[in-house]
Amino acid sequence: MKPNAEPERPPLVYVQGVGMIKTFADVLEEVKDFQVHPGDLLISTYPKSGTTWVSQVIDLIYKEGNVEKCSNEPIYQRVPFLEFAVEGVPKGIDLLRKAPRPCLIKTHLPVQLLPKSFWETDCKMIYVARNAKDVAVSYYYFYQMAKVHPDPGTWDEFLEKFMAGDISFGSWYDHVKGWWDKRNEHKMLYLFYEDLKENPQREIRKVMEFLERPPDDRLVEKIAHHTSFKEMQKNQMANYTSIPATIMDHSISPFMRKGITGDWKNKFTVAQNERFDADYKRQMEGTTLHFRTEI
């Protein structure tokens, strides 16, 4: 390797058939034994589905709209990422062991890889799902800037990998359906990114009701303002600019890139869209789960 060459990106490691970032896979045995507390709240998503957005919303609800309290630490410390493990940044599992309870916990794990204690403990869960086409586009740009992932290749190559589920955290289809099928077995609120974009205040109210917080229109309005894409994009405690550039290179693509619904139309060719639609129909057959690809 040349002295100034980029370090080689690690290949995916497969855990129970699910592709994982290598350093994340290395800590999964440790993660498996994690004991959740009944008062903890799990925020779960497939990557690039509004995780940071919803985490900031919930942290502001917990802190009763106190923006200063939400600015003391970056989001990945306020809402530790359960399976996160990258050299130079605190591991999610270590942050969670030290976190005062109850706490917020983030994960991208599919249902089958989530530690058993989550299913055995009466803790609440919020899942956020985003339409597959926008996720694919957003994930492609994220793969480029977040160097813990394998090289994404061309957009066409990445789209094929996405449809096959041959990417970090596995199949989008299996992920959203797996959590959808669990939603009535546990205290779970299943939200949609498109609904949040369409009417943030309505969805924030829904979250507050789920968390058994009293209705408060002024608080809802304040949270909606401070968690708008424009505000989040410039918030250094939410936009991941505090992560070393060797891990996330924002000069390639910002972590918070567009935050819109329907951006897939700017990336998919007609042929790609037709192929994707046919494959989507096959993979989503039989589920009651439906998405909007534009609002």
Annotated catalytic residues are 108
The DSSP secondary structure of 269-290, one letter per residue, reads -HHHHHHHHHHHHHHTTT----
CA atoms of 215 and 145, how far apart (whole Å): 40
Question: For residue 270, how many other CB atoms are within 10 A of its CB?
Answer: 7
β-pair type (124-129, 104-107): unpaired
Please measure the distance between the N-terminal and C-terminal CA atoms of the chain and give it in whole angstroms: 47
β-pair type (13-15, 41-45): unpaired
Question: For residue 2, how many other CB atoms are within 10 A of its CB?
Answer: 5
CA atoms of 240 and 196, how far apart (whole Å): 21
Alpha-helical segments (H) within the chain: 22-26, 28-32, 51-62, 75-78, 92-98, 116-120, 132-145, 155-164, 172-182, 193-198, 200-210, 217-226, 229-234, 270-283
Only one residue has tokens 């989008």, namely 172
